[in-house]
Amino acid sequence: MDCLFCKIIEGSIPSKKVFENDRVLAFHDIQPAAPVHILIIPKKHIPTMNDVTEEDDALMAEIFSVARHIAKEQGIDESGYRLVNNCNAEGGQVVYHLHLHLLGGHQMKSLAG
């Protein structure tokens, strides 16, 4: 499969892993947009948020659970963090394998401006 994140899961492309189990992988973003910038992905190849189905309910819950766990481990649970999913072109999605960005470690601007 010609998918960057599937290759990271396989190990044919290296990554700086911070969490892994049979269903979920998390690793440092190669081009961090914040002091903490970690990507959390399902091992199942799901291209976008639009492709998530009810079958994936437990998996989605687990991805959020892993995000909470990593935020705590990184010491940003109390200071705060942002979880982002970019969906499709106007959402700014570049890699078409579902992922959550965990961003933190500095003050972020409110989206309300």
Q: Which residues bind ligand AMP (CB under 6 A)?
A: 4, 13, 15, 29-31, 39, 86, 92-95
Beta strands in 1-113 (DSSP E): 17-20, 24-28, 36-42, 81-84, 100-104
Q: Which does 97 bind (CB under 5 to 8 A by kind): ligand AMP, Zn ion, none?
A: Zn ion
Q: What is the CA radius of gyration of the chain?
A: 14
CB of 92 to ligand AMP, least distance (A): 5
List the interface residues with Zn ion, window 34-53 (CB under 5 A). 45
Which of 66, 65, 60, 56 lies closest to 19, judged by CA?
Answer: 66
CB 66 within 8 A of CB 24: yes
Catalytic residues: 99
Q: Give the residue, chosen from 97, 98, 100, 102, that forms a contact with Zn ion under the rule CB under 5 A.
A: 97
Q: Which does 11 bind (CB under 5 to 8 A by kind): ligand AMP, Zn ion, none?
A: none
Give the residue with the Cβ less far from ligand AMP, 14 or 54.
Answer: 14
Return the amino acid letter for 87: C
Give the residue with the Cβ less far from ligand AMP, 1 or 78.
Answer: 1
Which of the 8 DSSP states describes residue 79?
Answer: T
Which of the 8 DSSP states describes residue 74?
Answer: T
Residues contributing to the site for Zn ion (CB under 5 A): 3, 5-6, 45, 97
